[in-house]
């Protein structure tokens, strides 16, 4: 797994030339990329979500597309539309912004449910169907969707079925004082994003995606993953626990986490470290727990702390 570790290190160092002090977030994006998953970023404006997406796309040499979600956005504005050409007397397809490789869906919860659902086929099947014609999207394909947690007026909360489509849910967070000063210094004369080089190619990413699946998972750890996910369905404060898709997501992300660390096997800490990003957005708390101020992250920590951890025989 040295190849994946070296690839991840190149990408991390390259993106870090633009984004200061967010190596963990960069690694989470890489994990989603290597697992062929997608990320939901919930954070306040101005913390670098768009810049990070552009930096990742440029580092990979991938086509970047940005979709600004608004209440009047239509599904065809995302997928594309067939337009009649009077000269050739035929319909021509004009591709929408979903036909990229790194897609930033900005403020996805501002769009109507109908428009939000236009993303589902692309995210799950990597295809887009327009007027009965199905088109395949180019790989690698990564969606980074954002939503603003502080402005709820005029928004349409993502339904649980759609949240479940996101492999990870993360936040970027504010930089520390030293990191913010470093950012001001870097941007003093020019934007470092404009000078960012390509450090990986499509074939390397696709090869890494195949190799991640080969990371070994012992039977006891496979059982541990199933136990953790099942415990989310049985906890008294949880109305709806994680689905089997959540089990697969935790399994795959633990493999990618280990591969980035240079290992060809996972350990229990890989599962524990990935669980908050994989499972919290898949939990629906019951009303009483919410009234008591409980959060999904707190309850998940209780669950992980109570499930017995496999030990080496």
pLDDT score for 11: 93
pLDDT score for 153: 67
pLDDT score for 159: 79
pLDDT tens-place string over residues 35-74: 999 999 988 888 888 888 889 999 998 889 999 998 899 9
pLDDT tens-place string over residues 235-285: 888 888 898 999 999 999 999 999 999 999 999 999 999 999 999 999 888
pLDDT score for 155: 76
User: Any idea what the CATH number is for the domain that residue 161 is in?
Assistant: 3.40.50.300
Question: DSSP strand E in 12-148: where?
Answer: 39-42, 64-68, 80-85, 90-95, 102-106, 127-130, 133-136, 142-147
Mean local confidence (pLDDT), 190-215: 90
pLDDT score for 266: 95
pLDDT tens-place string over residues 208-232: 999 999 999 999 999 999 999 999 9
32 and 173 in a single domain? The answer is: yes
164 and 254 in a single domain? The answer is: no
172 and 222 in a single domain? The answer is: no
Residue where one domain finishes, among candidates 207, 224, 243: 207
pLDDT tens-place string over residues 79-100: 988 888 888 888 888 889 999 9
45 and 163 in a single domain? The answer is: yes
Give the CA radius of gyration of the chain. Answer: 20
Give the Cα separation of 257 and 235 in Å (integer). Answer: 27
Residue 311 inside a domain? The answer is: no
Mean local confidence (pLDDT), 109-120: 86
pLDDT score for 187: 87
pLDDT score for 313: 56
pLDDT tens-place string over residues 12-25: 999 999 998 889 99
User: Any idea what the CATH number is for the domain that residue 270 is in?
Assistant: 1.10.8.80
88 and 228 in a single domain? The answer is: no
- Strands of the sheet with 64-68, listed across from one edge: 64-68, 102-106, 142-147, 39-42, 168-170
DSSP-derived secondary structure for 60-94: HTPPEEEEE--TT--HHHHHEEEEEETTTTEEEEE
18 and 153 in a single domain? The answer is: yes
β-partners of residue 303 are none
155 and 219 in a single domain? The answer is: no
Confidence tier at 152 by pLDDT (50, 70, 90): low
β-partners of residue 42 are 147
For residue 310, what are the CA distances in angstroms to 27, 233, 255, 261?
26, 21, 17, 20
pLDDT tens-place string over residues 154-186: 678 887 778 888 999 998 888 899 989 998 998
17 and 161 in a single domain? The answer is: yes
Residue where one domain finishes, among candidates 207, 227, 257: 207
pLDDT greater than 80 at residue 151: no
133 and 165 in a single domain? The answer is: yes
Q: Please tell me the pTM assigned to this model.
A: 0.91
180 and 222 in a single domain? The answer is: no
109 and 227 in a single domain? The answer is: no
Residue 88 inside a domain? The answer is: yes
Residue 265 inside a domain? The answer is: yes
Domain enclosing residue 238, as ranges: 213-306
Mean local confidence (pLDDT), 108-133: 86
pLDDT score for 113: 86
Residue where one domain finishes, among candidates 163, 182, 207: 207
pLDDT score for 92: 86
**What are the backbone dihedrals phi and psi of residue 215, each rounded to the nearest 5 degrees, phi first?**
-65, 130
Count of structural domains, the chain: 2
pLDDT score for 103: 92
Residue 13 inside a domain? The answer is: yes
| Angle, helix 202-212 to helix 244-260, in steps of 10 degrees | 110
Of 159, 122, 134, 94, which Cα lies nearest the Cα of 38? Answer: 122
196 and 232 in a single domain? The answer is: no
């Amino acid at each position: 797994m040295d190849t994946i570790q070296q690839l991840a290190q190149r990408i991390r160092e390259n993106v870090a030339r633009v984004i200061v002090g967010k190596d963990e977030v960069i690694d989470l994006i890489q994990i989603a990329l290597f697992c062929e998953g997608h990320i939901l970023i919930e954070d306040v404006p101005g913390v670098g979500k768009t810049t990070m997406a552009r930096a990742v796309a440029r580092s990979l040499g991938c086509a970047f597309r940005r979709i600004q979600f608004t209440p009047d956005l239509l599904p065809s504005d995302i997928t594309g539309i067939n337009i009649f050409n009077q000269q050739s007397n035929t319909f021509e397809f004009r591709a929408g912004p979903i036909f990229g490789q790194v897609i930033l869906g900005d403020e996805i919860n501002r769009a109507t449910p109908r428009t939000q659902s236009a993303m589902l086929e692309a995210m799950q099947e990597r295809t887009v169907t327009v007027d009965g014609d199905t088109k395949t999207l180019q790989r690698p394909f990564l969606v980074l969707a954002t939503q603003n947690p502080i402005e709820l007026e005029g928004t349409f909360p993502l339904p649980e079925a759609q949240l479940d489509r996101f492999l990870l849910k993360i936040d970027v967070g504010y930089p520390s004082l030293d990191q913010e000063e470093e950012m001001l210094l870097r941007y003093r004369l020019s934007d470092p994003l404009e000078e960012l080089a390509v450090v990986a190619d499509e074939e390397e990413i696709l090869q890494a995606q195949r190799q991640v699946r080969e990371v070994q998972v012992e039977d006891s750890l496979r059982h541990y993953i199933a136990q953790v996910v099942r415990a989310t369905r049985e906890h008294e404060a949880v109305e709806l626990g994680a689905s089997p898709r959540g089990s697969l997501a935790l399994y795959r992300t633990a493999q990618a986490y280990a591969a980035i660390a240079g290992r060809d096997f996972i350990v229990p800490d890989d599962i524990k470290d990935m669980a908050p990003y994989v499972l919290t957005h898949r939990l629906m708390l019951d009303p009483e727990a919410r009234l008591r101020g409980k959060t999904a992250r707190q309850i998940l920590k209780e669950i992980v702390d109570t499930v017995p951890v496999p030990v080496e025989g």
